[in-house]
A and B are shown apart, each in its own frame.
Chain A
Amino acid sequence: MKASFAANGRNLALLAGSAGVLFAALQMSGTPPVDVLTGLAKGSMGSPAAWSGTLRETAPLLLAGVAVMLGLRAGLFNIGVEGQLLVGALTCAVTAIHLPGAGGLLAGLVTGALGGALWAAPAGLIKAYRGGHEVITTIMLNSIAALFTASLVTKVFRDPTQQSVTTSYIAQRMPMATPGAVEINAALVAGLLAALWLAWWLRRTVAGYELMAVGENPVAAEFAGIDRRVVQVKAMLMSGALAGLAGALQVAAVEHRYYDGFSPGYGFDALGVALLAGAHPLALVPSALLFGVLEKGGSAIQILGVPKGIVGVVLGVVIVVSAAFRTRKGGGDHG
């Protein structure tokens, strides 16, 4: 009991410190804090157009967040979602440009997911069979993916008729729902379905149970007859496939092309989305929406002269504070 009071006090101290940092940052912005907050809310939720933008930001974060969480439940930090997403997006764009029609688009989505899985494979294999930490390998694979896709789009797949470094546009379009002038694209629907699927798959299938068992305690899982290595490789491949699919859908449903600087860091934000959501896949939905609001609202307040970096500060603080509260709830004292 006493320990939990102390932990509460510590977390409250952290919360107060974070609030102080954010307040100081708002004060420094030179714009009244109230104006910043209302600007953020209006820019992200004030009109159907603002909501459309927010949901457009939310979609890739949700699906990539599902990818991160699948890895986390197996005890793997897939920091490589960013790179897997880039590879999936470029693969999808190139496939859909060369294969016409709905079949080509479908092939683009499938190859995009395969590309993501392929990019994640070294991290899974090295973790399972060589014991190399997946965080390091995926950080390295991210950098390689960024250079690799930049090189390909500049030198091989570039559309020479365009001024900027980009592939040509794909001809196919995916359906979009517009209830009350708010655009809901296919990528968002796919993200919601993926979150539902993960919730079901983890709880109701043997493979999902094995994955969580390895994530909770690899040694105990081995004694229960689960091959830890196979599960880890499989989890990394699935996580990479979902990340690749997130990139592919971003091409198929939103951007309709691949260009240099395609991702503004969806993969990194997705880590925050998953860490904030905690253990349950359905919690990814509000978490991704919060990130979407901050991203869209953050762009909107740049007009007020508030640099975009404030969003990074808010997200970092949210990740740390939520982790502090969860650590106390979940963990015993190792003292």
Chain B
Amino acid sequence: MGEIGLLLGSTLALSAPLMLAALGGYTSERSGVINIALEGMMITSCCATALIGLATGSAWLGVAGGLTSAVLLSMLHWLLTQNYRMNPIISGMGINAVALGGTNYMSQRLITVDTPDKIPVLPESLYYVLAVSLPVLVAIYAATTRGGLWLKAAGGDPRKARLAGLRPDRIRLGGLFATGVFSGLSGVLIVTHASRYVDGMTDGRGYIALAALILGGWKPVRAAVACLAFGFFSALQIQFQGTNLFGAQLPSEVWSSFPFVATVFALALLSGQSSAPPGLGKL
């Protein structure tokens, strides 16, 4: 029983950042903006939460700083893709490069050996409650409210949405604002869980969240379930490291590559196009 409890606990700890980030991907891509910049927003939020928290000694200010920094990057993505009409992949790559380089730069300049290790944080359980409840709430919002329909209209066919009198670029501004908040929360959780900042600590999890979003067919609750599956397999890997399973010892890399292999197979078997928002990447 103890072992199962431990497994479930670490599953939640490993899944929650992915669930929040995947939700960030959802509000962006559902409104039609391809977003590979989740990774950059997450690491920036980690770094800002740590730096501002350490500088002010206030957990609330740290969290506010982390969320703000991610929202600012998300707004930059909106500006570049919707106003400058730049290819969203190029914009996302640029943002990721600036974010990864910039956080490396800032953290090495400002976090030194004499800086006390303790970052002021809010209780971790708060984020787990959010990670589990938000996908359901967002799904209800998307299905039942006017704002949710607007989001889907902008991502479904921006031209038709325009003919119906909507402004897809403004709707996407809202979607990307939410992306900043959700991916920012994911970064805050990651730094809260580790209770210190480590360079590159998001470790590609923004891309895994994107994979979960696709596996979940661009639906919030299904994406969250995919995140839970990824988290469960990572937890299994940690728990069973070095022990024999089914008579053979699987290398840890096999476990780690599971989310990626599953996504490639899903894309190959399920046909990626059918469930993707039709207006994805269109202006």
Residues of chain A whose beta carbon lies under 8 Å from any beta carbon of chain B: 10-11, 14, 21, 25, 28-30, 77, 79, 122, 125-126, 130-133, 135-137, 139-141, 143-144, 147-148, 150-151, 155, 268, 271-272, 275, 307-317, 319-320, 323-324, 327, 331, 333-334
Contact = CB atoms under 8 A, between A and B. Distances in A.
A147 B99 CA distance: 24
Query: Taking each of B89, B108, B264, which has the highest tally of chain A beta carbons within 10 Å of its own beta carbon?
Result: B264
B93 interface: yes
Contacts of B90: 275, 319-320, 323
A69 B207 CA distance: 23
B256 A147 contact: yes
B94 A131 contact: no
Interface of B: 34, 36, 80, 83-87, 89-91, 93-106, 108-109, 204, 207, 210-211, 214, 251, 253-254, 256-257, 260-261, 263-264, 267-268, 271-274, 276, 283
Contact of A307 (B34, B91, B109): B109
B94 A141 contact: no
Given A150-B253, A151-B253, A309-B100, A135 B89 contact: yes
B204 to A, nearest CB: 6
28 contacts: A10-B83, A25-B102, A126-B272, A131-B274, A139-B36, A140-B261, A141-B260, A144-B260, A144-B261, A147-B253, A147-B256, A147-B257, A148-B253, A268-B97, A275-B90, A275-B93, A307-B104, A312-B98, A312-B102, A312-B104, A314-B101, A316-B93, A316-B95, A316-B99, A320-B86, A320-B90, A323-B94, A327-B84
Nearest to A130: B271
Contacts of B93: 271-272, 275, 316, 319
A129 to B, nearest CB: 9
A268 B39 CA distance: 14
Interface centre among B108, B256, B267, by most A CB within 10 Å?
B267
Contacts, number: 153
A319 B268 CA distance: 31
A317 B100 contact: no
Given A140-B211, A147-B256, A316 B251 contact: no
Given A148-B257, A275-B90, A319-B93, A28 B36 contact: no
A140 B264 contact: yes
B264 A141 contact: yes
Contacts of A310: 101, 105
Contacts of B104: 307-309, 312
Nearest to A312: B101
A319 B90 CA distance: 7
Contacts of B102: 25, 309, 312-313
Nearest to B261: A144
B109 A327 contact: no
Given A10-B83, A133-B276, A275-B93, 8 more contacts: A79-B89, A130-B273, A137-B267, A139-B36, A307-B105, A309-B103, A312-B100, A331-B85
B98 A136 contact: no
Contacts of A133: 272, 276
Nearest to B262: A140
Contacts of B204: 143
